Chains A and B, each alone.
Chain A
Amino acid sequence: MKTVAKAALVWLGLMVGGFPAAQAEDLLLKDGNLIRGVGIRREGQFLFAKPEAGQEQIVPLANVARITFRESQGLRDARLAFKDGESRSIISNTGSELTYHRFWVDMPGSVWLPIMELRVPALAAAGRPDDVAELIREWVATGNPDLDTAVALMKLKESKAPKEELMKAYTAATAGNPSTLTAAIAWLELGNLALEARDWAAAIRNFVSVQVFAPKWRPLHPSAMLGCVKACVGNEQPDHAVPFLEDLKNEFPKSSQSRIAPTLVR
């Protein structure tokens, strides 16, 4: 947890001015008391809990056993968008959660990690350079090896490392657990590199691996499928693109890739 605490300090240090007010959260104290439905804010080593009616209570952070955060609409929408593979929507919806939740990163019950599990793959698939750069700049190890390695891969790409180095890193990343986000990102990037090298079969292999081995990481799928379509077209086998087009259309109908792909084949 040390790393998470450090991350919290970094982010806290970035905050200037007022603390965002929270919706009603539940607060479990170490003495067993449960304070329900309070707005919380943090100042120094204290937590200020404000019930809807009544006076604000001051609780030392050390006395807090756990905070149960109510799921916000933004987070709910982000989860739905995650299932639909809509990276843009995930980025936008999680973006609005960051300011509030980064203050509670070091507290038991923090939802920072789940937010990042939604946001990182979305940024890897369709993040604007600024967003990706910000993520990389401010990232502090979370203790979740998959997420931390995935961001390290993104950082390597962002650093404009030589292709050989990238290839080496991505290949190594796919050698481990294939269902991880790290492997999924590595396959996607290996696919893109193969596309650049006009190695169509390798491109398809890598892109398909995202779908086959990392089904959980839906935000990466539309990009991978579009990559397959590009490889089929590049290989002058547009008819081979049909299954990928079908999957895009059926599984990710709202994605930008499902609109672009048919035009490539035409």
Chain B
Amino acid sequence: MSSPQERLFGPLDSRLNVGSGAALLIPNPRDRVELEALEARAKAAGGPARLGVSGLFGRSLRRALKGLPLTVLVAVGGVGLGLWSATAAAQAPAQAPAAKEEDMGAVFGAMYKKAMESFAKGEFKECIEGLKEMIAKGAEGPGLESVRFTIGSALFNQKDYKGAKEAFELYLKEYPAGTKVLEASTAVGQCMMNLGDKAGALKSFAELAQKPGANKERMVLVQANLLTELKKKEEAIALLRPTVNALLPTDESVQIAALLAELEVEAGNVENSFKLLDLLYGRFDVVENPLQVNALAFKIGDALRLKKEFKLAVRAYNLVQRKEDVLLLQREKLLRLKARYDANIASLSKNPERLAEVQKINSDIKALFDDGTRVLGEVEQAEDYAIPLRTRQAAVYLELKRHWNVIVLFEALLKSGNPKPEERENMEFTILMSHAELKNSKELDQSIDRYLKEFPAGKYLPQVNYFKGTQLMSAHDLEGAETLFGTAIKNKTAGENHETILFLLGNIRYELQLWDKALETYDEYRKQYPKGESFEEALYRKSLCYFFKGDFEKALPSLSDYVKEHPDGQFAPDAGFRIAACYMAAERPKEVIQRCLEWEKSFGFHKLMPEVLSLLGDAYVAIDKRAEAADAYFRALQLNASDEVLNYVLFEANKQYQKLGQWDKSVELFKNFIERNPKHPAVVASMYWLARALVKEGKPEEGKAFLSEKIYSFINDRASDAVEQLLTQLAQMCSKKPRPVPVAKPVEGAKVEGGTSVASAAAPAPAPAPAEGAAAAASTPEGTPAPAPPPFDPDAELAKYLSAKKAGGTPLVNARVLFARSELARMTRRPKEADELVDRIGAEFAPRDLGAALLARTGDRLLELKNIAKAEAIYRELMAAFPKSELLDYAYNGLGQMALQKGDAEGALKWFNEAIEKVGADVKLRDVTLGKGRALLQLGKLDDAKAIFEQVAATKEWRGPVTADAMYLLGEVAFQKKDFQLALQFFQKVVLAYQRYPQPVAKSYLRAADCYEKLGDAENAKAQLREMVSKEKLAGLAELEQAKTRLEGAQ
């Protein structure tokens, strides 16, 4: 910003330029024409021939010559000339002058005119010489006042301030009541200022302010500026405050408000400065220079930012008007002035008598128009300040942690395309950082991609790569993160995040079980950052690498080193536990027991306690101390352990109680567990095992009654998926004829029921029950022989414990009872009856009456029966009524299979993809995967389909009919690729290895024949078909009929 003096008076040259010629005052030719027309009309009406300084341009000049002595008014315009001429003319009759005197008057007039013309041209030296010559030749009269004043002005404009001061002082001495006393006094003050006598100037202006007719606002402004320069800001504020006019009617009042606002903010009077800024913006449409007000808002905002008054700084920056808006405002202002000017001229045709009045008004309008035009030019020339403004706003928002505001600001700027490349990069990076702060994962990803695309070698690349790596980690793309961070470390481009990245790289490799690489990385970290934030953790993780790698010989000393180095370290409890586990791995259970007991003493309340107790239990088991083991597991069960640990210790404890024959303790164990963990996934299995324990305890009726009670408590709750599981368990218990059980005695090494693995214990698979006779034969009672058993009726047994009527007889209850009966029929080897019962569920109940499990089961059955419409309704209900059910994959799979059957491969693919991505297909993953492959095959995406079929065929857990299907489909892919030899291999493999599955085998025979035909081997083709028709297992299949027809055709 310019100095206060410049702001007040402006550069001298420009003042002269503006005042030195009328042409400069007329903005465009049209205005000039109008002006000339106005002058012509004025002349015709008897007015002055030229609308000079006293008329049209008067105000403009006064405004332009702020602070200058009004020399130019006198010098250039008709007033000065008029005064001199008038003086000469007036002298004539009064003094009855001789002809010579008249001649001199004319001479002086001519000399004066010439001098004034020199002034107008900026030839001040010639002007001064001319005027001095007049004085030397004895020029006198009222005109001399102007001469004296003009000499001072010309000297001033020549920057001869000393001379000018003397000239103006002479004027004041000779004309103490002259017409230019105020101007001359002002000029004296200005000369003093320019001569460096600021104190003198201040005094001079203060005195001047008291004089009648003085422009007080102007004088105050000058004084305030001088006081500011003299570093007397408090005095300046005190001087300015009473002068502020809230209406801001004059230019000076605007400048006073602006100066005071600046001083107030510097003095810390923020509120005052804001009030002034508000005033200025309230009159933004009339202030002479809006850019100046904007600059002030910038300045106040910056000052507030430095003072960390961020919210106020935002307010200040918010006031700044955009350049486009300022231009618009300024143009509108000019248009309004122009319209008023035109209207005034137009009014003259009707009211010529108003000429003088119109002249006066329009001269003011013209002056305003000219000033406005000049300001418009300045605004147009000014650089756009949108970027500095937005950057400042963003900086403040960052301080205020308003990250969304920053994002929105910079996105808008980037969209405008205005920022330069370096600014763009800064903005993109700031956006990226803001998204990182906000944890906007998706947006951060996009931001990173944008940055990397636009600035592949940008200055923030290390940081951006760091964020990208952490994003990949969040997305579980550990391989991607490992590559990125590994490259950054290798290429030494990790920048300031090197330490963090190195440690994270170790962790990623640890997670990826790249133990050797992880070890190497942690070693590197410890070497490079012995005082690093993660130094301790790196050592601990290094130990874990050995541990999980199975290298216990190295893990043990490494963990011991950690405990030694960091006895109170954050990982000390975990290390203690792992050390014990190392001894377990080394098959030293006694050492383990000792370590675990010591651990308990040291860290008894630590969250690892359940794991330690579990390990302790395992160690006791290893030395056959089952009671102690069961006790340790039971204790673990009482703590807040993870689901996984709870599951383990629950069934391990049960196993020990079984071996000890302590069924009562098993009962207690499960009761305790169910009570403490009613929502645990193992609750349903626990109910089953509890019932079994009751049976083993010799209380079979109590066991079934227990299950029955639990079923009744849930059976009317449509949302309870556990009911179907319990029904299956009840059916299983009812499928077997009860046998008397002798009173249990502790038996070492007794057979453990429910298998030995946690998985089998947690999810008991209901084994098919033997037929009644077989069951009776197989169930030879242990101990005392029982009397001949009565005929056992499993259906009646089930009915005893499950009555639809007792449960309320609602459709849901009835359907569930049917389901239980179906399960019982299946377990007692009555498959047809089992299917019929399930079919009744589909036929007799509306989808809305069924729970998720029944919907899933029934939907699949209906699909199998090709009852597409009803199956679809069932699946849709499953999705609508149970959007969070774990069985949703049945619906997605079912709908996908339907789409496949209809030939809508795109639709099928969508369902299968959603089954995996949306609901995380679990039970149906196998079917969904195969279905997806089939859809891709239908779409002709052979390679994609092949990859999926290979995956299905290679998955051990899925071995069975889908493997046969996958092999057959791999043959189909090869066939469609016209690789008939390869296709033949697949088809023959199905025929040879999967005879158990007639459908794919039959299809493979036909396709194998096709392959032979394509290969031109008709004999082998026929041989395939002949072999196929000989297979009894394929009887009844449509493919068999096709084979027969083809054989007949071939003969």
In angstroms, Cα B443 to Cα A13, docked, is 56
A209, B408: Cβ atoms closer than 8 Å: yes
Q: Tell me the minimal C-beta distance from B986 to chain A in angstroms.
A: 47
Which of B269-277, B397-405, B706-714 lies at the interface with chain A? B397-405
**Cβ contact of B408, chosen from A179, A208, A215, A237, cutoff 8 A:** A208
Q: Which of A201, A212, A215, A216 contacts B442 (CB 8 A)?
A: A201
Q: Which of A231-266 contact B (CB under 8 A)?
A: 237, 240, 243, 250
Contact present for A213 and B412 (CB under 8 Å): yes
Residues from 369 to 422 in B contacting A, C-beta threshold 8 Å: 393, 400-402, 404-405, 407-409, 411-412
Cα-based distance from A213 to B325 in the complex (angstroms): 13
Instruction: Please tell me if B440 contacts chain A, counting CB pairs below 8 Å.
Output: yes
Q: Do A205 and B325 form a contact, CB below 8 Å, given A178-B412, A212-B409, A213-B412?
A: no
**CB–CB B412/A243 < 8 A:** no
Residue of A nearest to B281 (CB): A216
Say yes or no for B864: interface residue by CB 8 A criterion: no
Asked if B401 contacts A243 (CB within 8 A), the reply is yes
User: Which residue of the partner chain A has the closest CB to B315?
Assistant: A215
**Which are the 5 A-B pairs with shortest beta-carbon distances?**
A215-B318, A208-B404, A208-B408, A212-B405, A212-B408
Within 8 A of B (CB), among A197-227: 201, 204-205, 208-209, 211-213, 215-216
Q: How far is the CA of A265 from the CA of B999 in the complex (A)?
A: 58
Q: Is B520 an interface residue (CB 8 A)?
A: no
How far apart are A229's CB and chain B's nearest CB, in angstroms? Answer: 12
> Complex formed: what's the CA distance from A237 to B441 in Å?
12
Interface size class of A (residues with CB under 8 A): 10 to 19
Give Cα A240 to B318, complex, Å.
23
A153 interface residue, CB < 8 Å from B? no
Given A213-B412, A237-B439, are A177 and B404 also a contact pair (CB < 8 Å)?
Answer: no
Report the bound CA distance from A209 to B407 in whole Å: 10
Q: Which residues of A contact B (CB under 8 A)?
A: 177-179, 201, 204-205, 208-209, 211-213, 215-216, 228, 237, 240, 243, 250
CA distance A26 to B439 in the complex (A): 60
On whether the beta carbons of A201 and B324 are closer than 8 Å, the reply is no
Could you list some 10 contacts between A and B, CB below 8 A? A177-B324, A178-B412, A179-B325, A208-B404, A209-B408, A209-B412, A212-B408, A212-B409, A215-B318, A237-B439
Alpha-carbon distance between A159 and B197 when the two chains are bound, in angstroms: 72
CB B1042 to nearest CB in A, in angstroms, measures: 53
**Residues of chain A contacted by B401 (CB below 8 angstroms):** 243
Give the interface SS of chain A, mostly helix, strand, loop or mixed.
helix
Interface pair A205/B318, CB less than 8 Å apart: no
> In the complex, A177 Cα to B440 Cα: how many Å?
29
B404 pairs with A205, CB closer than 8 A: yes
Residues of chain B contacted by A178 (CB below 8 angstroms): 412
Q: How far is the CB of B542 from chain A (nearest CB, A)?
A: 35
Question: B394's closest neighbor in chain A, by CB?
Answer: A212
A205 to B405, CA, bound (A): 8
Interface residues of B in 298-318 (CB under 8 A from A): 311, 315, 318
Judge whether B325 and A177 touch: CB under 8 Å: yes
Given that A179-B322, A179-B325, A205-B407 are known contacts, is A243 also in contact with B402, CB under 8 Å in the complex? yes
Beta-carbon nearest neighbor of B407 in chain A: A205
Residues of B contacting A179 in the complex (Cβ-Cβ under 8 angstroms): 321-322, 325
Q: Which residues of B441-462 are within 8 A (CB) of A?
A: 442-443
Partner of B404, one of A204, A213, A215, A250: A204
Contacts of A177 in B (CB 8 A): 322, 324-325
CA distance A228 to B404 in the complex (A): 10
**B639 at interface, CB cutoff 8 A:** no
Chain A residues positioned under 8 Å from B407 (CB to CB): 205, 208
Q: Which residue of A lies closest to B357 (CB)?
A: A32
Shortest C-beta distance, A192 to chain B (Å), equals 17
Nearest residue (CB) in B for A243 is: B402
Query: Per a CB cutoff under 8 Å, which of A201, A211, A216, A228 touches B440?
Result: A201
With the chains together, A204 CA to B411 CA distance in Å?
13
In angstroms, how far is the closest chain A Cβ from the Cβ of B212? 26
B-side contacts of A228, CB under 8 Å: 404
**A208-B440 in contact (CB<8A):** no
B438: Cβ under 8 A from any A Cβ: yes
Contacts of B412 in A (CB 8 A): 178, 209, 213
With known contacts A177-B324, A179-B325, A211–B439 Cβ distance under 8 A: no
Is there contact, CB below 8 Å, between B322 and A243? no
CB distance from A252 to the nearest CB of B (A): 14
Those of B671-724 within 8 Å (CB) of chain A: none
Query: Are B393 and A212 within 8 A (Cβ)?
Result: yes
> CA A252 – CA B556 in complex, angstroms?
63
Q: How far is the CA of A215 from the CA of B311 in the complex (A)?
A: 13
Q: A204-B404, A212-B405, A237-B439 are known contacts; what are 9 more A-B pairs with Cβ within 8 Å?
A: A177-B324, A177-B325, A179-B325, A201-B443, A205-B411, A208-B405, A228-B404, A237-B438, A243-B401
Please give me the residue from chain B that is nearest to A210 by CB atom: B408
How far in angstroms is the closest Cβ of chain A from B356?
13
List the A residue with the shortest CB-CB distance to B319. A215
CB distance from A117 to the nearest CB of B (A): 13
Q: Kindly list chain B residues whose C-beta atoms are within 8 Å of the C-beta of A208.
A: 404-405, 407-408
When C-beta atoms are compared, the residue in chain A nearest to B321 turns out to be A179
Kindly list chain B residues whose C-beta atoms are within 8 Å of the C-beta of A201.
440, 442-443
**Alpha-carbon gap, A246 to B442, bound state (A):** 26
Residues 997-1008 of chain B, each 1 if its beta carbon lies under 8 Å from chain A, else 0: 000000000000
The residue on B at minimum CB distance from A251 is B311
* Smallest beta-carbon distance A97→chain B, Å: 20
What's the Cα separation between A215 and B325 when bound, in Å? 15
In the assembled complex, the Cα of A243 lies from the Cα of B325 at a distance in Å of: 30
Complex interface: chain A residues within 8 A of B311 (CB): 250
Cα A215 to Cα B389 in complex, Å, equals 14
* Residues from chain B with Cβ under 8 Å of A250 in the complex: 311
Whose C-beta in chain B lies nearest to the C-beta of A215? B318
Q: How far, in Å, is B272 (CB) from chain A's closest CB? A: 18
* Closest beta carbon of chain B to A195's beta carbon, Å: 15
| B405 and A240 contacting across the interface, CB-CB below 8 Å | no
Tell me how far the C-beta of A168 lies from the nearest C-beta in chain B, rounded to whole angstroms. 18
Decide: A211 and B438 in contact? CB cutoff 8 A: no
Find residues 157-179 in chain B having any chain A CB closer than 8 Å to their own CB: none
**Among residues 319 to 369 in chain B, which have CB atoms less than 8 Å away from a CB atom of chain A?**
321-322, 324-325
Look across to chain A and name the residue whose beta carbon is closest to the beta carbon of B328: A177
Kindly list chain A residues whose C-beta atoms are within 8 Å of the C-beta of B442. Answer: 201
| CB closest chain-A residue, reference B347 | A30
In the complex, how many angstroms separate the beta carbon of A58 from the nearest chain B beta carbon?
23
- A179 to B319: give the CA distance in the assembly, Å: 11
Residue with the greatest number of chain A CB neighbours at <10 A, chosen from B321, B325, B440: B440
Q: How far is the CB of A217 from chain B (nearest CB, A)?
A: 11
Instruction: Please indicate the chain B residues that have their CB under 8 angstroms from the CB of A211 in the complex.
Output: 405
* Docked pose: A208 CA to B412 CA in angstroms: 12
CB of A179, distance to nearest CB on chain B (Å) = 7
B438 touching A240 by the CB < 8 A rule? Answer: yes
B438 — which chain A residues lie within 8 A by C-beta?
237, 240
Complex CA gap A179/B311 in Å reads: 19
Most A-side CB within 10 Å, residue of B311, B404, B405, B409: B404
* CB-defined contacts of A205 to chain B, threshold 8 Å: 404, 407-408, 411
Residue of B nearest to A211 (CB): B405
Expressed in whole angstroms, the Cα–Cα distance for A243 and B434 within the complex equals: 14
Contacts of A204 in B (CB 8 A): 404
Contacts of A216 in B (CB 8 A): 318
In angstroms, Cα B401 to Cα A178, docked, is 23
> In the complex, what distance in Å separates the CA atom of A211 from the CA atom of B397?
12
CA gap between A213 and B411 in the complex, in Å: 12
- Residue of chain B at shortest CB distance from A30: B347
Instruction: Determine the chain A residues whose CB is within 8 A of the CB of B402 once the complex forms.
Output: 243
B321 CB contacts on chain A under 8 angstroms: 179
For A231, give the chain B residue with the smallest CB separation.
B404
Chain A residues with Cβ below 8 Å from B443 are 201
Closest chain B residue, CB of each to CB of A176 = B324
Contacts of A212 in B (CB 8 A): 393, 405, 408-409
Please give, as numbers and ranges, the residues of chain A lying within 8 Å of B393 by CB-CB distance.
212
A125 nearest CB across to chain B (Å) = 18
